């Protein structure tokens, strides 16, 4: 899978590389774990207001938002490369199945997909 960054310069090169690597290596892992492939190709950087607002809820690292028939994934650009890859996996899982709880995604799906993808 190819990913595209909106205002990619806001993400450090190592972060862009990590997200691209996990996007490429996780295709089969997503299918094995969730029965579907990740499909949101465009990644947006979160701005400071979004990070602050999201931090008041359940994180601050990223979010997935359904806007009409489109899905937006945004990731905080100041994360480590590994954490950015985890957030990408988490938000793709939410895009595939928005009804899944944060607990299931964060504690079961993300670790399993990351482990499978990094073994390949």
Confidence of residue 18 (pLDDT cuts 50, 70, 90): very high
109 within domain boundaries: yes
| Structural domain of 45 | 4-115
N-term to C-term CA, the chain: 15
CA dist 51 and 70 (Å) reads 21
Q: What is the pLDDT of residues 33-84, one digit of tens each?
A: 999 999 999 999 998 888 878 766 666 799 999 998 899 999 999 999 999 9
Task: Please name the residue that has the structure tokens 């997935």.
Answer: 64
93 within domain boundaries: yes
Domain count for the chain, please give it.
Answer: 1
82 within domain boundaries: yes
The β-bridge partners of 4 are 42
Q: Are 95 and 37 in contact (CB under 8 A)?
A: no
The β-bridge partners of 66 are 71
53 within domain boundaries: yes
Burial class (CB in 10 A: 0-12, 13-18, 19+), 69: exposed
120 within domain boundaries: no
């Amino acid at each position: 899978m190819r990913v595209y960054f909106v205002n990619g310069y806001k993400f450090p090169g190592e972060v862009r590389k990590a997200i691209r690597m996990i996007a490429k290596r996780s295709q089969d892992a997503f299918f094995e774990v969730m029965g579907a492939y990740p499909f949101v190709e465009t990644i947006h950087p979160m701005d400071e207001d979004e990070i602050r607002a999201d931090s008041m809820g359940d994180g601050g690292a990223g979010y997935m938002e359904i806007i009409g028939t489109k899905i937006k994934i945004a990731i905080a650009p100041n994360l480590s490369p590994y954490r950015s890859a985890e957030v990408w996996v988490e938000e793709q899982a939410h895009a595939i199945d928005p009804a899944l709880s944060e607990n299931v995604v964060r504690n079961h799906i993300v670790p399993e997909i990351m482990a499978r993808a990094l073994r390949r």
